[in-house]
Structure 1
Amino acid sequence: MSANNTKSDFNWAQWRWISATTANSTDKNFAKKEQINTPTNSTTATTSAVSPNTSMSVNNSQSLANALSTNKINSAALNHGACATLPDWVLAVKKSSAPNAVAVKTLVLKPKGIAGTDVLVVAARADAEWSTNPLIKLLGGKEARAAQDDLILSTLKLNRIDVSPFALANVDAASKPTLLFAIDKSLASAPQLAFRNFSASDSIVVSGSDLISFVKSAGFTPKEFDAAQIGAPAAAPSAPASGKAKQQKSAATTSASNDEGVMIGITVKKADDFPSWYTQVLVKTEMMDYYDVSGCYILRPWSFKIWAEIKKFFTAEIEELGVEECYFPMFINGKALEKEKDHVEGFAPEVAWVTRAGSSDLAEPIAVRPTSETIMYPAYAKWVQSHRDLPLRLNQWCNVVRWEFKNPQPFLRTREFLWQEGHTAFATKEESDKEVLEILELYRRVYEEVLAVPVVPGKKSENEKFAGGLYTTTVEGFIPTTGRAIQGATSHSLGQNFAKMFEISIESIEEGAPQGSKSFVWQNSWGLTTRTIGVMVMVHGDDKGLVLPPNVANIQVVVVPVGITAKTTAAERAKIHAFVDEVTKLCKPAGVRAKADTRDVYTPGYKFNHWEMRGVPIRLEVGPKDIAKNEVRCVIRHNGKAQQLAFPTLSTSLPALLAQIQSDMFEKAKKERDSHVIRVEKFEDGFVQILDKKNLILAPWCERVACEKEVKERSQRIALAGEAADEKAPSMGAKTLCIPFKQPTENPVVPGKTKCFACDHNAVSYTLWGRSY
């Protein structure tokens, strides 16, 4: 690919070539005219023999252009308009002036079992589907998972979305021995390879041989593999299509107006590569997007609507209980945060501090709230002076910041997240205890009635309770694909601890109390976060993408016109669209959120896949035959079943069907969850082996802190079998999830007789154990 051929081979209106020759051109107007970004250092640009530069940082399109030019590598930069998804980008490259360029995706993996390797960077065709685990085994390892954002940022000095093989130039000397680069051998010899160029609108093209040269100059020896031999994950067999179903292509392909068969769907199986599946589902369905600050994410309308529905339900319920809405500032005075020692110790590693304002240091650092007890309770102390000021029951919807470094995952574990936090004060413990359980019941209903996700209500162990609280209650979810539990929401009894710290007291109303004596109030706090969205996606999603419960779906019904061909007359087309409009307008008065997809640029098959991937509960298809029968064809997302619905009764049949879908989704999830709860009487009865099979365990337990710590350490030792633990990965040790309020009725704990499953002490309760996020 020489500079002399570039003018005739490519359209200069679209491409900007950057090469050692053009960068050194004596025609000073040439670079300006073609918008070539030449190195600012003229000495570097004109040196005839430049040694490979291994220290140049690549962190934007300009620095990449400079690095390639310095290493005498010809490259072409293409502007093709913004591409929202990987398949969109692949198509954009195919339609560009370099239609033969192979679009390349870059995977960053955390391998297990490859000696001395912490990070694996893989370059592969963006339009190919294959499984990563066979590659890992080929390289001598066991398995791999997607590398977390922090690991990518610390190693490659870029956010995940900007990583390409050129990022290897950023790896410091200490990290180089722990990083491995692998490339599909078909790419190594390809004449043209396209990579994302730090923007959704830009790509850069180099030859395969030049890429290999660059990687070697960065200090790495590429490991080549044959992706064609590794192959795609096995797909589940499907029944032959018939009737209108034949119109729908696989969810992994488009059916746009040119029907070029480009990948648009989820390209990995949920069971094969769960982390990649989860990320693809969230990004491709436009639930979220990545942000420049690691651990922080953009919530797009498709997910924010879910949060809005949760907020709507919960707000209405707590208002019935007498809770009022408020808002407190997000900053905490350092002295106030340090007032409650136990509370601070629980959050200290995660607290973010503001230390500067402009160019000036603050006289005293200010913390960004990880939770709001220490913000709100000084005000409570002013507002509560007598029993007549109680109960004080406030709730706020806000964001909080917890600067975590362990395994960040969108919605599940993030540095900033949205939540509601309720803070209440009562005159008596009985009132406080009653509210703790009332709120927990509402959290159960959020998960089970709104999100169709089964949870286990219970009490946290002493070791797992909220720092500084009296006791904590929880609803615990379960992700069958990973076999891990996840804390859904918590309702805490704070006792009188915070009241004593912040002097929230009233004149005692206890019988026989001395005149003028004071008593401290009883307090609760309770919270529910956007983690709910992640749990819902993980539980219900499938290989095709999202599966949304109707109660939170942004669009509950999508109406798609079908049967329109080149032979369809304008009058027939108008008749179909008019019927589609009638169906859509009928939905709103019936309380159904509906949308008509009348985009002419896409075929019905494309639209089917588009909305199926986004999890819309019901698809209605309207064609000439349906209109003739005064009915519509209905396809249900969560089970794929189809039926005909009469148009005149849609206002009643659709709400009833949506309610049935909500119920069916919950029952399906509950049945699967229940099948993974195993009762164990002794640790030696295969405790760890049962966990390894992605189960939860219900076992008799003594409820001692020391016993729980021993079980966690013992189970982790057995699970790791001598391997070092990954500090950023979820723990392999088992812990208590909760002591379920609903205890077994068959062979229950007999006080003084039933023994703890892990030690010789008497059991107090049957407790739910598992590995968790």
Structure 2
Amino acid sequence: MADSADTPKVTEAGVESAAPQQNPKKDGKERQDAKKAAKAEKAAKHAQGGQKQGQKQGGGGGAQGKKKMEGAALIGIDVAKEDDLSEWYQQVITKGEMLEFSDVPGCYIYEPASYSIYERIQDFFNKRIKKMGVRNCYFPIFISEANLQREKDHIEGFAAEVAWVTEGGKNKLEKKLAVRPTSETAMYGYFSKKIRSHRDLPLKLNQWNNVVRWEFKHPMPFIRSREFLWQEGHTAHLTEEEAGKEVLQILDHYAAIYEELLAVPVVKGKKTVNEQFPGAHYTTTVEGFIPSVGRGIQAGTSHCLGQHFAKMFDITVEDPKAKEGEKREKLHVWQNSWGLTTRSIGIMILTHGDNKGLVIPPRVAEIQVVIVPVGITAKTTEEDRERLYSEVKALEAVLLEADVRVETDLREGYSPGWKFNDWELKGVPLRLEFGPKDSAKHVVSAARRDTGEKTEVPITDLGKDVSALLETIQSDMLKKAAGEFANCRKIVTNWDDFVPALNGKNCCIIPHCLDGKCEDEIKELSSGKIEGQEVDARAPSMGAKSLCIPFDQSYEGFKEGETKCTNPKCDRLAQKWVMFGRSY
């Protein structure tokens, strides 16, 4: 698990909705909408009781503290992302109706808008892993203490985070039960029973479940929480080669989730020994980066576990290559595990969100298009109003036929401007405005959420053009984010440039010797604990850790067998380019 970041602080920022126009026809649903701002305020107050946090987010909040945006709509975000990322994030996830707080710190309620994103990730990933022969299953959430303790190196990586059940009803349990932090030890006894012959291989299982890691560090919604949702795949193979092939296949699927669905760029690579999964033979990873805070973030990992767990749980088969008459040697299988969590939603929010709120990529947005009727005034007759509404519903039907997820906003008592702000806050990718003038011209006015660009779409081409525009938005969002990430990856071969690059909100790709003690030394040297070392004042105690050894090693400035490690206290030769950075 990556190093903790200070959590975005929870504040009691007052949130008021713009006073709606009074209308006697407003029904119960509309009255409920009018109370949205009060709901966000209540969530913030609720959370404050369980999550007391610092005044700034390490590396992201800025020393200025909270700074209100001038002219910000009261319904929307009233602090700039660049001024106070901490509070900005807090407001975006609550006012954007992505998440609600529960009365258990670090455990959250995923609202429909965020859970629908997770469902689309599930659909995308399921299609791909099922083509690989992976089957979904479910194992119990509780693990016996004896089972969990069977693998010492593995459990040491989670020991401080394991939640234990010691009572059942009014009775104390004779043997306490762990709430799963991950499922290797829960599943591999089953693997030992199920795998009796090489003909039972490969065995490929995946779970969509929840896990609990009772961290005492500050939680951060979606990014770091005590309970989170994920998928965890566990597979067994006859050979290292077969296992290694699957590891990379899964990593490619993870990269596709981020880049094709969430429009978030990632770097694929291998973890150093210091950072690999406890008990793994090796770990591969997709690494993201949040430019606004200058931190890397582990986005998904695919591990080759080797034969470590197979030896622990006695998962063996007879050698199928033994000649007839020869004694068949027992072979330990090669195992993999791989997982991707709801952290992906937080990474998406931090990557694309702006000072108006969420910006959701079209492919995962619960609502891709919202239609807002305009041009209705006090002088509009009831007949003209109904005629316009009828046309709007016809437009909605066309988009539904084109497989566009669309909603029409017919709420009365709210001005079009109020509705625009409301939908921009929620990050809906495309807004369509339609009024009497548009009807006369046979067009619909379209406004992109990501850029604010406005265009007119002929009604005759509505389904085709809107679908194409949504794909353009998706592509442009990835292109923009990829450019920002590329600009933040700095090639550093001189130590004097290392910390200044970090302070400039970048990650550094350096020639490195791959020695674990050297990694620890780099973290110490860049942490601000060294006298005379200038570091980012907002993160004085956070040094840079290795994020990954990128698969792409085509950078210039490093000659194998000649270039020294970038650490000034290391006298070894560099082995690989390694990406270092401050991280979540």
- Map 1:311-350 → 2, pairs under 5 A: 311-350=122-161
- Please give the secondary structure, in 1, of the residue aligned with 2:275: coil
- Stretches of structure 2 that go unaligned for 5 or more consecutive residues are 1-30, 43-47
For residues 689 and 532 of structure 1, the distance between their equivalents in structure 2, rounded to whole angstroms, comes to: 29
For residues 716 and 442 of structure 1, the distance between their equivalents in structure 2, rounded to whole angstroms, comes to: 35
For residues 435 and 90 of structure 1, the distance between their equivalents in structure 2, rounded to whole angstroms, comes to: 47
- Stretches of structure 1 that go unaligned for 5 or more consecutive residues are 1-79, 92-104, 113-131, 134-141, 146-231, 236-249, 254-262
Q: Deviations over 1:498-550 (max 9, x none)?
A: 00000111001245695232000000000000000000000000000000000
For residues 90 and 704 of structure 1, the distance between their equivalents in structure 2, rounded to whole angstroms, comes to: 49
- CA positional deviation for 1:353: 0.4
Is 1:110 aligned to 2:110, yes or no?
Answer: no
**Contact 1:474–1:738 at 8 Å: present in 2 too?**
yes
Counterpart for residue 463 of structure 2: 651
The residue identity in structure 2 corresponding to 1:560 is V
For residues 654 and 771 of structure 1, the distance between their equivalents in structure 2, rounded to whole angstroms, comes to: 40
In structure 2, relative to structure 1, the CA distance for the partners of 1:719 and 1:551 (3 Å cut) is farther
Identify the match of residue 401 of structure 2 among 579, 589, 592: 589
Is 1:522 aligned to 2:334, yes or no?
Answer: yes
- Please give the secondary structure, in 2, of the residue aligned with 1:463: helix
- CA positional deviation for 1:651: 1.4
Counterpart for residue 549 of structure 2: 739
For residues 344 and 150 of structure 2, the distance between their equivalents in structure 1, rounded to whole angstroms, comes to: 31
Identify the match of residue 755 of structure 1 among 564, 567, 574: 564
- Please give the secondary structure, in 1, of the residue aligned with 2:278: coil
Counterpart for residue 430 of structure 1: 241
- Please give the secondary structure, in 1, of the residue aligned with 2:245: helix
Identify the match of residue 475 of structure 1 among 286, 301, 304: 286
The residue identity in structure 1 corresponding to 2:154 is H
In structure 2, relative to structure 1, the CA distance for the partners of 1:591 and 1:402 (3 Å cut) is same
- CA positional deviation for 1:89: 8.7
Q: Deviations over 1:36-73 (max 9, x none)?
A: xxxxxxxxxxxxxxxxxxxxxxxxxxxxxxxxxxxxxx
**Contact 1:87–1:264 at 8 Å: present in 2 too?**
no
In structure 2, relative to structure 1, the CA distance for the partners of 1:502 and 1:90 (3 Å cut) is closer
For residues 730 and 618 of structure 1, the distance between their equivalents in structure 2, rounded to whole angstroms, comes to: 41
Counterpart for residue 256 of structure 2: 445
For residues 540 and 232 of structure 2, the distance between their equivalents in structure 1, rounded to whole angstroms, comes to: 26
The residue identity in structure 1 corresponding to 2:417 is G
- CA positional deviation for 1:471: 0.2
- CA positional deviation for 1:717: 3.2
The residue identity in structure 2 corresponding to 1:486 is I
Question: What TM-score, normalized by structure 1, do the two folds share?
Answer: 0.67
Counterpart for residue 401 of structure 1: 212
For residues 368 and 356 of structure 1, the distance between their equivalents in structure 2, rounded to whole angstroms, comes to: 13
- Please give the secondary structure, in 2, of the residue aligned with 1:717: coil
Q: Which structure's CA Rg is the greater one? A: 1
- Please give the secondary structure, in 2, of the residue aligned with 1:539: helix
- CA positional deviation for 1:737: 0.3
The residue identity in structure 2 corresponding to 1:455 is V
The residue identity in structure 1 corresponding to 2:562 is K
- CA positional deviation for 1:407: 2.1
For residues 349 and 361 of structure 2, the distance between their equivalents in structure 1, rounded to whole angstroms, comes to: 10
Is 1:676 aligned to 2:485, yes or no?
Answer: no
The residue identity in structure 1 corresponding to 2:54 is K
The residue identity in structure 2 corresponding to 1:490 is T
- Please give the secondary structure, in 1, of the residue aligned with 2:242: helix
In structure 2, relative to structure 1, the CA distance for the partners of 1:731 and 1:282 (3 Å cut) is farther
- Please give the secondary structure, in 2, of the residue aligned with 1:110: coil
In structure 2, relative to structure 1, the CA distance for the partners of 1:672 and 1:90 (3 Å cut) is closer
In structure 2, relative to structure 1, the CA distance for the partners of 1:374 and 1:731 (3 Å cut) is farther
The residue identity in structure 2 corresponding to 1:744 is S
The residue identity in structure 2 corresponding to 1:617 is P
The residue identity in structure 2 corresponding to 1:539 is T
Counterpart for residue 609 of structure 1: 421
Is 1:307 aligned to 2:124, yes or no?
Answer: no
Question: What TM-score, normalized by structure 2, do the two folds share?
Answer: 0.88
- CA positional deviation for 1:553: 0.3
- Map 1:43-442 → 2, pairs under 5 A: 85-86=36-37, 110-111=54-55, 233=68, 252-253=72-73, 263-442=74-253
In structure 2, relative to structure 1, the CA distance for the partners of 1:572 and 1:647 (3 Å cut) is same
For residues 467 and 334 of structure 2, the distance between their equivalents in structure 1, rounded to whole angstroms, comes to: 44
**Contact 1:402–1:415 at 8 Å: present in 2 too?**
yes
**Contact 2:64–2:83 at 8 Å: present in 1 too?**
no
For residues 454 and 654 of structure 1, the distance between their equivalents in structure 2, rounded to whole angstroms, comes to: 25
- Please give the secondary structure, in 1, of the residue aligned with 2:208: strand
For residues 344 and 561 of structure 1, the distance between their equivalents in structure 2, rounded to whole angstroms, comes to: 58
- Map 1:5-24 → 2, pairs under 5 A: none
Is 1:769 aligned to 2:580, yes or no?
Answer: yes
Q: Deviations over 1:621-667 (max 9, x none)?
A: 01001111111000000000000000111111111111110000000
Counterpart for residue 13 of structure 2: none
Is 1:710 aligned to 2:521, yes or no?
Answer: yes
Counterpart for residue 183 of structure 1: none
Q: Deviations over 1:553-582 (max 9, x none)?
A: 000000010000011111211111011101
The residue identity in structure 1 corresponding to 2:203 is L
- CA positional deviation for 1:751: 2.1
- CA positional deviation for 1:693: 1.1
For residues 725 and 661 of structure 1, the distance between their equivalents in structure 2, rounded to whole angstroms, comes to: 35
- Map 1:540-619 → 2, pairs under 5 A: 540-619=352-431
**Contact 2:528–2:540 at 8 Å: present in 1 too?**
no
**Contact 1:110–1:144 at 8 Å: present in 2 too?**
no
Counterpart for residue 443 of structure 2: 631
- Please give the secondary structure, in 2, of the residue aligned with 1:420: strand
For residues 209 and 540 of structure 2, the distance between their equivalents in structure 1, rounded to whole angstroms, comes to: 27
For residues 536 and 460 of structure 2, the distance between their equivalents in structure 1, rounded to whole angstroms, comes to: 62
In structure 2, relative to structure 1, the CA distance for the partners of 1:370 and 1:90 (3 Å cut) is closer
The residue identity in structure 2 corresponding to 1:654 is V
The residue identity in structure 2 corresponding to 1:415 is R
Is 1:665 aligned to 2:477, yes or no?
Answer: yes
Q: Deviations over 1:163-198 (max 9, x none)?
A: xxxxxxxxxxxxxxxxxxxxxxxxxxxxxxxxxxxx
For residues 433 and 376 of structure 1, the distance between their equivalents in structure 2, rounded to whole angstroms, comes to: 20
For residues 435 and 603 of structure 1, the distance between their equivalents in structure 2, rounded to whole angstroms, comes to: 54
For residues 554 and 720 of structure 1, the distance between their equivalents in structure 2, rounded to whole angstroms, comes to: 51
- Please give the secondary structure, in 2, of the residue aligned with 1:526: strand
**Contact 1:499–1:521 at 8 Å: present in 2 too?**
yes
For residues 410 and 111 of structure 1, the distance between their equivalents in structure 2, rounded to whole angstroms, comes to: 17
Q: Deviations over 1:584-634 (max 9, x none)?
A: 111122111000001112111111011011000000001001111111000
For residues 453 and 251 of structure 2, the distance between their equivalents in structure 1, rounded to whole angstroms, comes to: 35
- Please give the secondary structure, in 2, of the residue aligned with 1:308: helix
In structure 2, relative to structure 1, the CA distance for the partners of 1:451 and 1:88 (3 Å cut) is closer
For residues 493 and 132 of structure 2, the distance between their equivalents in structure 1, rounded to whole angstroms, comes to: 41
- CA positional deviation for 1:760: 1.7
For residues 346 and 582 of structure 1, the distance between their equivalents in structure 2, rounded to whole angstroms, comes to: 57
The residue identity in structure 1 corresponding to 2:294 is G
Higher relative contact order (CA 8 A, sep 6+): 2
For residues 84 and 376 of structure 1, the distance between their equivalents in structure 2, rounded to whole angstroms, comes to: 46
For residues 144 and 376 of structure 1, the distance between their equivalents in structure 2, rounded to whole angstroms, comes to: 47
**Contact 2:289–2:295 at 8 Å: present in 1 too?**
yes
**Contact 2:527–2:535 at 8 Å: present in 1 too?**
no
For residues 716 and 390 of structure 1, the distance between their equivalents in structure 2, rounded to whole angstroms, comes to: 47
